[in-house]
Structure 1
Amino acid sequence: MTRTLFFLGGWSALALGLVGVFLPLLPTVPFVILAAFCFARSSPALERRLIEHPRFGPHIAAWREAGAISRRGKWMATAAFAVSVAAALYWMRWPWVAFPLAAMLASGTWIWTRPER
Structure 2
Amino acid sequence: MPETPVPAPTPPLQMLPSRPLRWLLQALAWLCLALGIAGVFIPGMPTTVFILLAGWAAARSSERMHRMLWQHRLFGPMLRDWAAGGRVSRRAKWSAAATMALGAVLVCWAPVPSWVRWFSLTSMACVLAWLWRRPEP
- TM (norm. structure 2) is 0.77
Distance 1:32-1:96 versus aligned 2 partners, 3 A rule:
closer
Corresponding position of 2:33: 14
Identity %: 38
Counterparts of 1:65-104 in structure 2 under 5 Å?
65-91=84-110, 92=112, 94-104=114-124
Work out the CA distance in 2 between the residues paired with 1:96 and 1:31: 23
Structure ranking higher in helix proportion? 1
**Equivalent pair of 2:43/2:100 in contact (CA under 8 Å):** no
Q: Secondary structure at the match of 1:42?
A: coil
1:55 aligns with 2:78: no
Q: Secondary structure at the match of 1:112?
A: helix
Structure 2: runs of 5 or more not aligned: 1-19
Structure 1: runs of 5 or more not aligned: none
Q: Which has the larger radius of gyration?
A: 2
How far the C-alpha of 1:8 sits from its partner, in A, is 0.6
Give the length in aligned residue pairs.
Answer: 117
Q: Which runs of 4+ in 1 moved over 3 A?
A: 92-96
Superposed CA RMSD: 1.5
